[in-house]
Amino acid sequence: MSIIIKGGTIVTPTRSYLSDIKIKDEIIIEIEQNLVDSESEIIDATGCLLFPGFIDSHTHFDLDTGYTRTADDFKTGTAAAIIGGTTSILDFATQNKGETLNEALKNWHDKAKNVSSCDYGFHMAITEWNEDIKKELESMTNEGITSYKAYMAYDSLRLNDGDIYTILKALKKYNGILGVHCENGDLVNTFIKEQLKEGNTSPSAHPLSRPNKVESEAISRYINIASLAESPINIVHLSTKEGIEEVIKAREAGQKVYVETCPQYLLLDDSLYVNEDFEGAKYVLSPPLRKKEDIEMLWQALSKGYIDTIGTDHCSFNLEGQKTHGINDFSKIPNGIPGVEHRPVLIYEYGVNRGRITKEQMCGLLSENVAKLFGMFPKKGVLQVGSDADIVIWDTKKQGIISKDNQKQNVDYTPYEGFKTTGKAKHVFLRGSQVVKEGSIINSNSGKYIKRGETNV
């Protein structure tokens, strides 16, 4: 049975145009105006935008932090993703100390298979690096893992600069890309001690322990390491004005530096930490929320094309029973916030409707650029003949108010409580099957693993 989506406006990063789309067996088979076929099911998209399924390249589902586990697993996290129009996610498979990359990959497959409602792939977070791990890059590549993450902060995860340099060199053979969590881990540890010594134990000490320069120093260092290795790089969850300035400098000097930011760094600021009670814990993530000047600079960088992707860094912990682990010591609050469900409505409302970016730029930032950077294009990230029929029929008029009471995310709060939005995913198709109808999930758990190709850098 084929399907024709009629009367919508297809959005691409460079132009938008009226056209019908015909789908058969998971794939887009025709894009033309006025398609007619009496055998096909017709879906009316008049007045709606048609986006290629959104891709969130930064989630942490079912992540064990040692003393607690994220509130969302693959079942709840991918259901929240699909209802918002995100048809693919890339989660961070994470190597535990003493584990091989292949063991870590198997763990992540076990977590995701048969329960995911959107398609999924994995980056591999390397937390231990040696000659044996290096040899595994070959099998990782064969298994569809073509992007990696290293941490410069968090004692249980971080690598040293020499390891980061040698990973970059080793990845050249496979055209893999390394995304780095850029924060100076030594300084973070020292500043945490400083805050605690002064009796600052509440969430308001969190941003003070990770000032802007902690990020921009690490970004500048990573850029220098990459220049020595002569490698393209990705910087994940960039949050500061000083950080993006380092990137712009490097790009203008000809270096290939890709950048991700997240909705929280575009929409929330550090005044949220200042609170009489423990509410500030809701916003404890790393890097922390920043100042209005940083937010302004990030929007400008987005509109000028200095930022390539917007991911969520969805890493949800309940306020009650999880964030409260750090009730007497902010440094023990599990780091991370939810967002996978709301990224498209937030960026459409506060980016497109407010005139900060165009809908075409949104298409690049949430879909096409992501697919290209992470080896999924043109299967994902574009509406063209031969691509997977991952399609979001976007109702530009639908109004909503974000709330923990109406979200799918399996967590007891949302950092965007009360945010008003106009524009929403009305119908969503995943590889040709309708999975969301009139804003409700009608088909769960049909997500498949995305075996990715070489990154396009």
Least distance in Å: CB of 311 to Zn ion?
8
**Spatial separation of the C-alpha atoms in residues 336 and 154, rounded to whole Å:** 13
Least distance in Å: CB of 391 to ligand URP?
29
**Spatial separation of the C-alpha atoms in residues 263 and 270, rounded to whole Å:** 14
Q: Is 179 in the site for ligand URP (CB under 6 A)?
A: no
Q: Is 181 in the site for Zn ion (CB under 5 A)?
A: yes
DSSP 30: E
* 41 residue type, one letter: E
Site stretch for Zn ion (CB under 5 A), options 181-189, 208-216, 244-252, 323-331: 181-189
Residue closer to ligand URP by CB (options 19, 239) is 239
64: tokens are 């064990």
Site stretch for Zn ion (CB under 5 A), options 224-232, 306-314, 372-380, 396-404: 306-314
Give the rounded distance of the alpha carbon of 87 from its chain centre: 12
Q: Is 260 in the site for Zn ion (CB under 5 A)?
A: no
Q: Please provide the DSSP assignment of 200-217 as one string.
A: --STTHHHHTS-HHHHHH
Q: Is 314 in the site for Zn ion (CB under 5 A)?
A: no
Q: Is 285 in the site for ligand URP (CB under 6 A)?
A: yes
Residue nearest Zn ion (C-beta atom) = 181
Q: For tokens 């105006």, what's the residue?
A: 33
Residue closer to ligand URP by CB (options 313, 390) is 313
Handedness of CA 51, 301, 307, 206 (dihedral sign): negative
Site stretch for Zn ion (CB under 5 A), options 99-107, 194-202, 308-316, 361-369: 308-316
Q: Please provide the DSSP assignment of 426-439 as one string.
A: EEEEETTEEEEETT
Residue closer to ligand URP by CB (options 59, 141) is 59
Least distance in Å: CB of 53 to ligand URP?
23
Helices 212-229, 185-197: crossing angle, 10 deg rounding: 170
335 binds, among ligand URP, Zn ion, none (CB under 5 to 8 A by kind): ligand URP
Q: Is 282 in the site for ligand URP (CB under 6 A)?
A: no
* 437 residue type, one letter: K
**Spatial separation of the C-alpha atoms in residues 296 and 301, rounded to whole Å:** 9
* Selected binder of ligand URP within 9, 53, 54, 60 (CB under 6 A): 60
Site for ligand URP in 286-305 (CB under 6 A): 286
Residue closer to ligand URP by CB (options 179, 344) is 179
Closest CA to 157 of 215, 95, 88: 95
CA distances from 2 to 35, 37, 157, 280, 405 (A): 12, 9, 48, 50, 37
CA distances from 430 to 86, 206, 338, 385 (A): 10, 40, 23, 15
Residue closer to ligand URP by CB (options 336, 375) is 336
Q: Which regions of 227-380 does DSSP assign to beta strands (E)?
A: 233-235, 257-261, 309-310
Residue nearest ligand URP (C-beta atom) = 335
Residue closer to Zn ion by CB (options 6, 181) is 181
* Selected binder of Zn ion within 56, 72, 313, 349 (CB under 5 A): 313
Least distance in Å: CB of 27 to Zn ion?
32
Least distance in Å: CB of 456 to ligand URP?
23
Question: What character string, x for contact with ligand URP (CB under 6 A) and - otherwise, covers 313-332?
Answer: x-x-----------------
Rounded to whole angstroms, the maximal C-alpha distance in the chain is 74
Site stretch for Zn ion (CB under 5 A), options 309-317, 324-332, 340-348, 381-389: 309-317
- Asked whether 263 and 309 are in contact (CB, 8 A), the reply is no
Site for ligand URP in 213-252 (CB under 6 A): none
**Spatial separation of the C-alpha atoms in residues 92 and 145, rounded to whole Å:** 11
Residues forming contacts to Zn ion in the complex (CB under 5 A) are: 181, 313
Residues forming contacts to ligand URP in the complex (CB under 6 A) are: 60, 181, 285-286, 313, 315, 335-336
